[in-house]
A = this chain, B = another copy of it.
Amino acid sequence: MKEKLQELKTRLAEIDDLQCANAVLGWDQSTYLPAGGAPARGRQMSTLARLAQEKFIDPVIGHLLDELQPYAESLPYDSDEASLVRVTARDYERALKVPPAFLGQFYEHSAITYQAWTEARPANDFAKVRPLLEKTLDLSRQMADFFPGYQHIADPLIDFADFGMRAETVSALFAELRQALVPIVQAITSQPLADDACLRRNYPEAQQLAFSQDVLQRIGYDFQRGRLDKTHHPFTTRFSVNDVRITTRYDENYLNDCLFSVIHEGGHALYELGVHQDLENTPLASGTSAGVHESQSRLWENLVGRSRAFWEFFYPRLQATFPAQLQDTPLDEFYRAINRVQRSLVRVDADEVTYNLHVMLRFDFELALLEGSLAVKDLPEAWHERFRADFGISAPDDRDGVLQDVHWYGGVIGGAFQGYTLGNILSAAFFEQALKAHPQIPDEMRQGKFDTLLGWLITNIYAPGRKFTAPELIERVTGGPIRIEPYIRYLKNKYGELYTL
């Protein structure tokens, strides 16, 4: 059995090497690639993806998994070996169900649609991508149908990102959240808008970078095991458990863009860097689900990075970095500015209170499109209508309406968005547990220390990597299933101090 396990590990290591190599190519594509190199890069990346897929669905891997199953089941559930066999078997079963030819067709269509979207969005031209999106919907339904026996057609697609979640459970959770959230949004938005002029002064890129690096280092991001580079759309990428890189962009006239994007991506990176070294080069060596991953980016971005305790330490340093811009702005004014709540058009720019309404709108549309109760041709109008109903304002065009997010234009329709709100809900649930275990965390933050918090997160959430599914992990950490109460408590507590609720 040891030999069979070794053979499995060797094969999986080779696949991981191909995937990590492809991640390097993708990182370069989004950071340093000269324009002329783009066509060859697309080709090289699809070759590596195809080879990794071919090697994974090799029947030999299936045989090895079958043979190892009883042995794995004889080991402790959370042992490295049992987890490796269990999680790989799940991945394998899923991978086998989607024919490689379909996958090739799907990737090709996605690449074309993405390209069309990059032109359609600035041109506010939904008609240009409409036929492509109709095909995407068709392919997304076909993708779901490779996994028969579902309750809702979105379930298999939700499973890809957030294994163990279903349309019904997510819908129920979101309905509950909406009920608690809408009165908070209404209460806040009926009060005067906070002044964020202090964020909209001129902040030169070089100092933004220096300050971002300082923040990253202090929250525990190790520049010996990662980098911060410049890109158009910030992302985090992993080349190994000891090389997890983040990217950012700079708006010299708006401080928030880089600052919170860096802490957000830093949170994703701390998760990947915290996976136990023993899991390196196996399929277990990354985050367990979209929702849990987002819980970490949002925990660091919002519960830490937008907290008063955090800025009690960092604000004097920020003022020292930007004396001309901030010397006359007191901490309280700055704190209110970075936590300004408003009804706005664009999800990625939304504050943490209204953000989830953006996600729910998209999630509901995904279900309706997949069910067939909404047609692609009617989507722009449906978007405007729902947006007015939920936000009380009108989007002036499709650019900042149905065209604003890349997700549907570069992947499947279904399962693309729920992770963001699951992440928000979980960020508070996990943070509450960390505070329960270590009540001194806020005091430490006031001193610019984050070791206790990071240590707790590593032990409880990061180290296991993909060993546990999201529901298993949530149960282990919080003692029960996902619940919205900690998140609502967090919002009421924080925004109750900033506004009359």
Contacts and interface: CB of A to CB of B under 8 A. Distances in A.
A387 interface: no
B281 A36 contact: no
Contacts of A159: none
A243 B21 contact: no
A34 interface: yes
Interface string A214-236: 00000000111111010000000
B20 A239 contact: no
Contacts of A226: 34, 36
A352 interface: no
A350 B410 CA distance: 54
A40 B227 contact: no
A43 B17 contact: yes
Given A17-B43, A17-B47, A28-B24, A37 B280 contact: no
Interface string A28-46: 1000111111011101100
A48 to B, nearest CB: 6
Interface in A224-279: 224-227, 229, 239-243, 245
Contacts of A240: 37, 39-41, 44
Given A41-B243, A51-B51, A243-B41, A224 B36 contact: yes
A338 B176 CA distance: 76
A47 B14 contact: yes
A10 to B, nearest CB: 11
Contact of A280 (B24, B35, B40): B40
Contacts of A18: 47-48, 51
A482 interface: no
A379 interface: no
B281 A34 contact: no
B239 A37 contact: yes
A39 B280 CA distance: 11
Contacts of A44: 17, 20-21, 24, 239-240
Given A40-B20, A242-B39, A34 B224 contact: yes
A304 to B, nearest CB: 23
Contacts of A47: 13-14, 17-18, 21
A25 interface: yes
A21 B32 contact: no
Contacts of A243: 33-34, 36-37, 40-41
Nearest to A22: B21
A261 B18 CA distance: 33
A25 B243 CA distance: 13
Nearest to A14: B47
A51 B15 CA distance: 11
B21 A48 contact: yes
Given A24-B25, A41-B239, A44-B21, A36 B227 contact: no
Contacts of A22: 21
A44 to B, nearest CB: 5
Contacts of A20: 40, 44
Given A36-B242, A41-B243, A243-B41, A48 B17 contact: yes
B34 A223 contact: yes
Contacts of A224: 34-36
29 contacts: A14-B47, A17-B43, A17-B48, A20-B40, A21-B44, A21-B47, A24-B24, A24-B28, A24-B44, A28-B28, A32-B227, A32-B229, A34-B227, A34-B243, A35-B225, A36-B222, A36-B225, A36-B243, A37-B239, A37-B240, A37-B242, A37-B243, A39-B242, A40-B239, A40-B241, A40-B280, A41-B239, A44-B239, A51-B51
Interface of A: 13-14, 17-18, 20-22, 24-25, 28, 32-37, 39-41, 43-44, 47-48, 51, 222-227, 229, 239-243, 245, 280-281
Given A17-B47, A21-B44, A40-B243, 10 more contacts: A13-B43, A18-B51, A21-B21, A24-B28, A35-B224, A36-B242, A37-B225, A37-B239, A37-B240, A40-B241
